[in-house]
Amino acid sequence: MKTLHKTLHKTLIAALASGVASMSHAAEFDVAITNVTAGVFFTPLLVSAHGDAESMFMAGAAASAELQAIAEGGDISGLATALSGAGAVNAENPAGGLLSPGATTEVTLNTDNASDNTYLSIVAMMLPTNDGFVALNKWEIPSEPGVYQVALNAYDAGTEANDEVLGSGAPGEAGFPAPPPVAATTGTNGTGIDASVEGYVHIHRGVTGDADTEGGQSDIDLSHRWLNPVAKVVVTVK
């Protein structure tokens, strides 16, 4: 009886130990992000492993000021600071600038010293758009080693009217910014699409564009249209 008890006890301990092992999350993992659009650029990406309390946005709710700065001008500094302040492990701008259509960037995140960072978020502005962004929002990182693939959609931050006119990347200022090489295909003197600020984060309806580089309704060229998904993410848990 005593022996049996001991055996049971050992088995229980083994089961508990393996249970604990399988619940522990990946300490190191690779993230490969591919821009799968035919004609949209991603501004510098923010890749973050963070805890359960953080989330970049809630679809249907208003965007934070930090998200607005990304969606309208590609500025990730505010959100990166907020996330790292909350203990997140961040990779900022892994592509070293814009991620072109068809291009891939890879980064390795290590959460050894922050084991509660079990969620992955990725965000960048989409150019040319007024306030469009690509995002993976609070995706639970699998604990099991393996290769995981996720398709990302394009969102509209809802903070700026989609007038599609060349303008500013500063939050609250109209128009979209056009750094090179986006400038090469950007028109001028568009009369602007009659649109309003939606007020909440939602799936982007796409851009209208036009074929007129010196006028028309839009300064966005037809070549910058897209359909979802806009990015492929491959997470390799080691």
Residue ranges that bind other proteins, judged by CB under 8 A: 34-39, 101-104, 151, 206, 208-211, 216, 222-223, 225-230, 232
Cβ proximity to other proteins: between 50 and 224 the closer is 224
Cβ proximity to other proteins: between 105 and 118 the closer is 105
Shortest distance, CB of residue 36 to other proteins, whole angstroms?
A: 5
For 131, the token pair is 């306030």
Shortest distance, CB of residue 209 to other proteins, whole angstroms?
A: 6
Cβ proximity to other proteins: between 36 and 123 the closer is 36
Beta pairing partners, 28: 110
State the Cα angle at 146 between 144 and 151, rounded to 5°: 110
Encode 207-225: b = buried (16+ Cβ within 10 Å), e = exposed.
bebbebeeebbbbbbeebe
Shortest distance, CB of residue 89 to other proteins, whole angstroms?
A: 27
Shortest distance, CB of residue 4 to other proteins, whole angstroms?
A: 37
Roughly what angle, to the nearest 10 degrees, separates helices 77-85 and 65-73? 150
Cβ proximity to other proteins: between 25 and 225 the closer is 225
Q: Is the peptide bond before 177 cis (omega within 30 degrees of 0)?
A: no
Beta pairing partners, 109: 29
CA dist 165 and 58 (Å) reads 27
Shortest distance, CB of residue 93 to other proteins, whole angstroms?
A: 20
Cβ proximity to other proteins: between 102 and 172 the closer is 102
Cβ proximity to other proteins: between 171 and 209 the closer is 209
Shortest distance, CB of residue 169 to other proteins, whole angstroms?
A: 23
Residue with tokens 């961040």: 90
The neighbour count for residue 162, using CB atoms within 10 Å, is 26
